[in-house]
Structure 1
Amino acid sequence: MTAQSGLLSRLPDISGLEKIWTILPEARLVGGSVRDLLRGLAVNDLDIATPEPPEVVLERLKSAAIRAIPTGLSHGTITALINHIPHEITTLRRDEETDGRHAVVVWTKSWQEDAARRDFTINAMSLDRHDKLHDYFHGVQDLKARRVRFVGHAARRIEEDALRALRFFRFDARYGEGEPDCEACEAIADNLKLFGKLSAERVASEFLRILTGPRLPETLAAMEKTGLLNVLIPGAQRGSLQKLLDCAGPPDALLRLFALSGENAVLMGAKLKLSNADKTALGVFGNTFPDLAPSSSDDDLRRGRVAQSLELLISRSWLAQARILARPDRQWDHLRIRLKKLPQPVFPLGGKDAQAFGVPPGPAMGAWLRVAREWWLEHGCRPDREACLVHMGCSTRS
């Protein structure tokens, strides 16, 4: 199916595309670029497909003095840099062999074969240099109906790559409406065993994007019905997450993962192979010290700023608010404002100060500094260096 579209006029700058079309006249915009143009959304990445094999694409780009980077040559992908803007060009492909994680591809000249290997109908459209839209699987119709469907048989698409189960829910949250596609949900439920073959990094990338996306409660409820949510997070606590959402807090993936995982949050961080910083944060989220409440004094908050980073304290304040109130609240908002306005306290003494008092390096010096620091903390981190020295002088003489 082809139709005049008028979509190219929605791009702020097509000079790069026009340059590519002079050397690759059969090339087309594909996938998300076309989908987002149809939705009237900003297009940040230009994905292009062409029937020419990658070595021909490379040669033509070099002949036209366009910088070419073989970013994914084994999959037929080359990035052309034009005016510092990347244009990703991929040779048309069809899947020759799949194992639920990876596909062995071969080049093809058929646009329909290439479209048939894509995941969803709304991602399988293409737009040529004449501004003609090519839609082989009714993607326009599905996009207008806010319906996300797999291209062809849903079960086969998932068998080719089980990560598409998570991608389905992510795309349905953004582009769908109402109940998700029944065929897709049945296929996901029937193929849960394939999910275990996926790398933790790929799963984390998709799932964390779901957690920051729209319609999260509905999406997680649908995932739970298929059994996929329980495979990912056994005993997921959707009620706890809903309390956090009811506070109208930030769309923070790590916060939401903690609320959903509860006491298993640290294990989930390890399972998803998150960064060390993220795993540490998940552990801190479960702490109750330092205590955070709207009634906290400035001294309490300064001590909190010493114990934990501002970012962690703000995150923990949202979790505390969700646990206590589960609704928006001006007093909790004011607490976060106070936390942000307080300068970061820095303990003013060091080893040289201890030496000046005749304290030798080693355990004695460490003990001297600990005593000074405890007094400084007890007084809300307000005493300056001189006050601390005066106190330690008195303490030493006494």
Structure 2
Amino acid sequence: MMDTAIKWPRVNADWLHAPALEKVFAALAKGGATTRVVGGAVRNTLIDRPVTEIDIATTALPDETARLARAAGLGAHPTGIDHGTITVVADGQPYEVTTLRRDVETDGRHAVVAFTGDWKEDASRRDFTINALYCDPDGTLYDPVGGLDDLRKRHVRFIGDAKQRIREDFLRILRFFRFSAQYGNGQIDPTGLAAAEELKDGIILLSAERVRAEMLKLLAAPNAPEVLAVMYKAGIVQLAIRTLIEPDRFARLSAIETALGETPDPITRLAALAVIHPGDETFLAEQLKLSNAEASRIATVFASEPGIDPETSEAVGRAALYKLGPENFKRAVLLAWARSEAPPSSQNWRARALLPDRWTAPKLPVSGSDVIALGIAPGPAIGNVLQAFENWWIGNNFPSDAELQRNVLKDLAAKSLA
């Protein structure tokens, strides 16, 4: 079918002229296929945002894509063959190359597709207009569904019938809000919002892993507080996280991060949003399938170190920083600050949150071998002496006098032998 897409000025980007990508284009061109970059790489280039991955669409059928790639000496792996995707590897760089397609059947989680040569048909099955932008190897831009105008207006809009797009994959509800928070102007498209609210129960059909991935991206997005407030009012975020929600506390944390110039951390933000009572962190970890590292980080919301409170002395703050480590300490302070409802301009909270930036906790200056050298036999007694020394050292604001340290350690060892 003739390509009737509107043509716009060319995309200018270094990634478009990378030798590896040019090899992929050249390989497919030998079979007569039309091949274009699609989606995020094009979108982000047009608004001067980082490009992290490059997806390719082609008129070549999957088997032909693989044959042409291998004939050109490139790797070809059928990583998503049922949906027309072949991962082509050039110079060690993988590219997902997908045949143009249309949906035949969907159930809200999975789709059965048929291949097509119609670019407008391929665009029409995608989620949002700003994700259905294509460009040729020479950078010529194709906009079959009006995505460029929406991108200029920072308007996140479903392609075609919003309800139909959502019924094809219920994850698109969360993606709609995530993209609105990342690329929108702070306003939610009313048609998309109405469709998402009507079909929100489909969220419970989604796997925890898919929900987790979308929610963590959403939480770190620039307009997350405004978007989450809309999701909360519509009862959507509650279905995704399934626990009590504190959108106001989330907004306070976001304002504090902005005041400090901190890069948003989605795990800290998740704790601010949804960890209210002891045990919530465990529930969230299970509900969203958080990694062990993420679960450990989110648990710092209940860190009980007194030094988190800026009303305590800096020495007490240093003790908390030493015990928690700089990242967990700052996370705990930010969360406590947000819970306190103190304003982002609070100088006391600011000073405590930035303590890791002006003081680095020293390492414990003694070890087990030092204790053994004082006559303590290997065993639990060594750990007891070290613990007693560490308690003294922290309690006295980390004295660095080596002779004082030796004398204290000797006294503690002597008491252990007595």
After TM superposition, the score normalised by the length of structure 2 is 0.85
3-state SS in 2 of match to 1:101: coil
User: Which residue of 3, 6, 9 maps to 2:12?
Assistant: 9
Change (3 A) 1:45 1:371: closer
Per-residue CA distance 1:124-176 (angstroms, 9 max, x = gap): 23223465443332222322333222112111111111110010011112332
User: Which residue of 234, 240, 247 maps to 2:249?
Assistant: 240
Higher mean C-alpha displacement, 184-193 vs 374-383 = 374-383
Q: Does structure 2 conserve the Cα–Cα contact (< 8 Å) formed by 1:101 and 1:162?
A: yes
3-state SS in 1 of match to 2:213: helix
Per-residue CA distance 1:230-258 (angstroms, 9 max, x = gap): 21244311121122123235311111111
1:121 aligned residue: 129
Q: Which amino acid aligns with 2:321?
A: R
Q: How much has 1:290 moved relative to structure 2?
A: 4.0
Q: How much has 1:356 moved relative to structure 2?
A: 4.2
3-state SS in 2 of match to 1:104: strand
Q: Does structure 1 conserve the Cα–Cα contact (< 8 Å) formed by 2:306 and 2:312?
A: no
Q: How much has 1:394 moved relative to structure 2?
A: 5.7
3-state SS in 1 of match to 2:335: helix
2:397 aligned residue: 380
Change (3 A) 1:379 1:145: closer
- Distance in 2, Cα, partners of 1:156 & 1:382: 67
Q: Does structure 2 conserve the Cα–Cα contact (< 8 Å) formed by 1:2 and 1:135?
A: yes
- 1:328 aligned to 2:345? yes
- 1:304 aligned to 2:313? no
Change (3 A) 1:394 1:244: same
Q: Considering only aligned residues, what root-mean-square deviation do their CA atoms show, in Å? A: 2.7
Higher mean C-alpha displacement, 198-207 vs 2-11 = 2-11
- 1:181 aligned to 2:197? no
Per-residue CA distance 1:74-126 (angstroms, 9 max, x = gap): 43223334455443311112222222112222322222222121111221232
1:201 aligned residue: 209
3-state SS in 1 of match to 2:307: coil
Q: Does structure 2 conserve the Cα–Cα contact (< 8 Å) formed by 1:372 and 1:392?
A: yes
3-state SS in 2 of match to 1:9: coil
User: Which residue of 119, 124, 130 maps to 1:111?
Assistant: 119
3-state SS in 2 of match to 1:119: coil
1:285 aligned residue: 301
Identity level (%)? 36
- Distance in 1, Cα, partners of 2:139 & 2:389: 73
Higher mean C-alpha displacement, 162-171 vs 175-184 = 175-184
1:252 aligned residue: 265
- Distance in 2, Cα, partners of 1:337 & 1:146: 34
Q: Does structure 2 conserve the Cα–Cα contact (< 8 Å) formed by 1:172 and 1:180?
A: yes
- Distance in 2, Cα, partners of 1:202 & 1:155: 20
- Distance in 1, Cα, partners of 2:75 & 2:11: 24
- Distance in 2, Cα, partners of 1:305 & 1:177: 38
Change (3 A) 1:364 1:148: closer
Q: Which amino acid aligns with 1:379?
A: N
Q: Does structure 2 conserve the Cα–Cα contact (< 8 Å) formed by 1:80 and 1:88?
A: yes
2:143 aligned residue: 135
Change (3 A) 1:42 1:146: same
User: Which residue of 169, 180, 192 maps to 2:177?
Assistant: 169
Q: Does structure 2 conserve the Cα–Cα contact (< 8 Å) formed by 1:244 and 1:326?
A: no
Q: How much has 1:343 moved relative to structure 2?
A: 3.8
Change (3 A) 1:116 1:300: same
Change (3 A) 1:118 1:342: same
User: Which residue of 385, 389, 396 maps to 2:409?
Assistant: 389
Change (3 A) 1:37 1:371: closer
Q: How much has 1:363 moved relative to structure 2?
A: 4.5
Q: How much has 1:321 moved relative to structure 2?
A: 2.6
Q: How much has 1:213 moved relative to structure 2?
A: 0.4
Per-residue CA distance 1:50-81 (angstroms, 9 max, x = gap): 11112211111122223334443343223334
Q: How much has 1:344 moved relative to structure 2?
A: 3.2
Change (3 A) 1:372 1:192: same
- Distance in 2, Cα, partners of 1:366 & 1:10: 59
3-state SS in 1 of match to 2:114: strand
Q: Does structure 2 conserve the Cα–Cα contact (< 8 Å) formed by 1:299 and 1:381?
A: no
After TM superposition, the score normalised by the length of structure 1 is 0.89
Q: Does structure 1 conserve the Cα–Cα contact (< 8 Å) formed by 2:7 and 2:143?
A: no
Q: How much has 1:381 moved relative to structure 2?
A: 3.3
Q: Which amino acid aligns with 1:108?
A: T
- Distance in 1, Cα, partners of 2:374 & 2:24: 74
5+ residue gaps, structure 2, are none
2:359 aligned residue: 342
Per-residue CA distance 1:11-54 (angstroms, 9 max, x = gap): 45525454433332311221223323433444443221111112
5+ residue gaps, structure 1, are none
- Distance in 2, Cα, partners of 1:356 & 1:130: 72
3-state SS in 1 of match to 2:56: strand
- Distance in 1, Cα, partners of 2:51 & 2:195: 31
1:75 aligned residue: 83
3-state SS in 2 of match to 1:8: coil
Change (3 A) 1:366 1:125: closer
3-state SS in 1 of match to 2:182: helix
3-state SS in 2 of match to 1:381: coil
- Distance in 2, Cα, partners of 1:131 & 1:283: 47
Residues paired across the two proteins, number: 398
Q: How much has 1:358 moved relative to structure 2?
A: 4.1
